[in-house]
A and B are shown apart, each in its own frame.
Chain A
Amino acid sequence: MPISPVKHPSKRLARKLLLAGTAATALGLAGSAWAAEPIKIGVIGEESSVAGASLTKAAQMAADEINAHGGVDGRKIEIITYDDHSSAADAVRAFQRAVNQDKVSAVLATYISEVALAIEPWSARLHMPLITAGAASTDIPKHVHEDYAHYKYTFMGWLNSAFIAQSICDAEHDLLVGPYHMKSTVVMSEDAAWTTPLDDQFLKCLPEAGLKVLDHIRFNPDTTDFTPIFNKIEGEHPDVITTGISHVGVQPTVQWHDQQVPIAMAGQSSQATTSTFWKDTNGAAEGVITASAAAPGVATTPKTNPFTEAYMKRFGDTPAYDGYTAYDMIYVLAEAIKHAGSTDPDKMVDALEKTDYVGTIGRIKFYGKNEQYTHGLEYGKGLVTGIDIQWQSGKQVAVWPANVAQAKLVFPSFVHLPKEAANK
């Protein structure tokens, strides 16, 4: 016998009433806690890359924390995420959709300079405050500086390439030139928007740091076999390879290790800042030195460790460098909205320019209208300097600057160090 659809009218009615009641209670509760409209913030990143996923997760975490503490003047922060597949075209569409359809008040986006440069004009056209979480090209602040009236809505949440290069030069001077008497290097960078200013600065500041630049190699980010490149470098006998790599990372590192290239590797290797890098390279990362925003267990500020621990607890993984910046930038946005007293874009820009906030990466301030890197993240001691980490036995260990360093450098046995150091 087929079951009649209205077999237990009383039960169904009761369930309906119960549902309605629950919904009403929920609405009522929500109504009391969140009287005002939520503040929507669009977050654009690539979900299938480690760095992109870290960006959106960390942003969500910051929003959840802010909401748990009452939101921004009683308004909840709502994060809307978009996957841009690291494609500039997808990111522009996501940006337009965030502004026109989802009516966000600000956008936090990307760690890729090419993508940031594609959405920057849209931030200008649509008058939408935009903070980049990790892009490093100096063209981003240059546009703001040259056409402030239009481009003033864009801010950078991480150091630009010139500062990253300077930070690396300073670190190599303190770590390699001093204790290990290293005298020469070869710059090995992927061909991308962010490495152009990086390499310019490298060629200037490495000699100042005491490292003669023997060669400058730029390679296609699609490269899979690095043997010929390492072979060429080895023939030039530098003491250290200074890297500028982000789109690639796992492959050169594994090949460096498997082929036992006898030269130390330092510089910027963005993939090496992610916690999965050890597993991805099967431990070939041992001895690799890279600049990063922050690292697990390194108390750059009192906020760094609590964030890393909470992130690990929630996602089972440590944040990538742009996870730290994304987390901080949501707080920076929340503060700016609070100070501006509204989400009016021009008022928000004014408030963002006055930012002076201690986050997980350091003390965050943005350069002003008349400075070279307008709306770029301020670099320097007491502000944000970045740190240098080295992979040692499966862990990222801070090695620079001295005040946060956890250990001394350790190199794999196949790396040849200059003689003076060996005699010590």
Chain B
Amino acid sequence: MVALQILIDGFAISSLYGLGAVGFTLMFGVSGVLNLSHGGIMVVAAVCGWLAAGDLGLGVYGGTLVGVIAGMACAYATYFVVVRPIQRSRAIPQEETEIFLLTGTLLWGIMIQEAVAYLFTDNPVTTRPLISGVTSIAGVRTPQNEIMIAALCWLAIGLLWLLVNRTRAGKALLAASMNPRGLTLLGFELSNMYLLVWTIYGVLAGIAGVLLASFLGVSSANAGQLTASAFSIVVLGGLGSVSGSLVAAYLVGYLETVTAYLIAPTLRPIPALLLLVLVVYLRPQGLLGRR
């Protein structure tokens, strides 16, 4: 009974982790940016979705849409205000760009977090579930929303797979993650690739934020934690590896759920962090990493 419960609960949270991490890792693969304002962007999507669904009276679906658009807008803002100026700056030495990007996005994330806390308080917000009610799966009472979340996450990941593997722009994106210089020699404009990857990233982070708000609730105080969990999943899976991130997301999700159920809810994040340390020692490139 508990085993089945763990299986079901772990699946929903792992799918969400996966969705959050896929965009994060894709962006690193393509543009070499580790976006430490990730959690902040998810929070903005969640809060905007909540605001639109409630105060603006757009309902659950309208709110979700607004949330995803807000996530995308916030990702664009991150790109144009923080990332691109650093990438193009002549004052920053080439070899230090990555450090500046890390610092820049980290500070940007804190700014977003503080702004949300200032404007909407740091109380957690929750959006209404897309579908409410519970279903019994072999005796385990499961909110239908949890099933819906897992399905939506996989739908989004599936669409991303189609985009990357079946469209011209997607294939170029894949190529950019392998060899950016080669792509420019073929006549592709790299900045267009960057814009595309930021768009995909923003949509994915937006969906993850809104779904998380309907599942567990999101507060501006969670921004750092959300970034940290995406970051550790991506490092565990191998930086830049989408499939690695998915595997790692399920590994972390289930490790956490098993710990919470069988040991103590308080110790939830510990085993996953220990695993991360172990992986960094023994296999620094991550589970499926190629760098």
Contacts and interface: CB of A to CB of B under 8 A. Distances in A.
B124 interface: yes
A282 B141 contact: no
B13 to A, nearest CB: 7
B89 interface: no
A228 interface: yes
Contacts of A274: 123
B125 A258 contact: no
B126 A281 contact: yes
Contacts of A49: 121-123
Contact of B217 (A220, A228, A229, A254): A254
Contacts of B217: 224, 250-251, 254-255
Interface in A202-252: 219-220, 222-229, 231, 250-251
A223 B265 contact: yes
A258 B266 contact: no
B121 A258 contact: no
A227 B2 CA distance: 12
Contact of B126 (A220, A228, A280): A280
B22 to A, nearest CB: 21
Interface residues of A, number: 33
Nearest to A52: B121
Interface stretch (B127-135, B184-192, B231-239): B127-135
B273 interface: no
A2 B145 CA distance: 67
B134 A259 contact: yes
A250 B265 contact: no
A260 interface: yes
A280 B143 contact: no
B124 A250 contact: yes
A50 B123 contact: yes
Contact of A228 (B118, B141, B145, B265): B265
Interface of A: 47-50, 53, 191, 219-220, 222-229, 231, 250-251, 254-255, 258-260, 271, 274, 276, 279-284
Given A219-B266, A220-B266, A282 B216 contact: no
B134 A219 contact: no
Nearest to A234: B141
B9 interface: yes
A224 to B, nearest CB: 5
B114 to A, nearest CB: 8
Contacts of A48: 117-118, 121-122, 220
A53 B121 CA distance: 9
B184 to A, nearest CB: 43
A336 B12 CA distance: 57
A250 B141 CA distance: 21
The interface centre, meaning the residue of A49, A220, A223, A224 with most chain B CB atoms within 10 A of its CB, is A224
Nearest to B132: A258
The DSSP consensus for interface residues of chain A is loop
> Which 10 A-B residue pairings sit nearest by Cβ, starting from the closest?
A48-B117, A228-B260, A251-B217, A250-B124, A220-B266, A282-B128, A254-B126, A228-B261, A258-B143, A224-B216
The interface centre, meaning the residue of B121, B129, B143 with most chain A CB atoms within 10 A of its CB, is B121
Given A258-B132, A259-B134, A280-B123, A229 B265 contact: yes
Given A191-B266, A250-B125, A258-B145, 11 more contacts: A53-B121, A219-B265, A220-B266, A222-B225, A223-B266, A225-B260, A250-B124, A254-B126, A258-B132, A258-B143, A284-B126
A276 B120 CA distance: 11
A16 to B, nearest CB: 38
A235 to B, nearest CB: 9
Interface in B113-161: 117-118, 121-129, 132, 134, 141, 143, 145
29 contacts: A48-B117, A48-B118, A48-B122, A49-B121, A49-B122, A49-B123, A50-B121, A219-B265, A223-B265, A225-B260, A225-B265, A226-B265, A227-B260, A228-B9, A228-B265, A229-B265, A231-B261, A254-B126, A254-B216, A255-B216, A255-B217, A259-B134, A260-B141, A260-B143, A271-B123, A280-B124, A282-B54, A282-B127, A283-B128
Contacts of A250: 123-126, 217, 219
Interface string B213-228: 0001101101001000
B285 interface: no
A220 B134 contact: no
Contacts of A226: 265
A284 B127 CA distance: 10
Nearest to A276: B123
Nearest to A247: B221
Contacts of A271: 123
A220 B129 contact: no
A227 B265 CA distance: 9
A33 B229 CA distance: 59
B5 interface: yes
Contacts of A251: 124, 126, 216-217
A280 to B, nearest CB: 5
A227 B128 CA distance: 17
Given A49-B123, A53-B121, A279 B261 contact: no
A250 B218 CA distance: 9
Contacts of B118: 47-48
Nearest to A277: B123
Contacts of B141: 259-260
Nearest to A229: B265
Nearest to A222: B225
B268 A259 contact: no
Contacts of B122: 48-49
B123 A231 contact: no
A230 to B, nearest CB: 10
A259 B133 CA distance: 8
Contacts of B2: 231
A220 B266 CA distance: 5
Contacts of B5: 231
Contacts of B261: 228, 231
Contacts of B129: 258
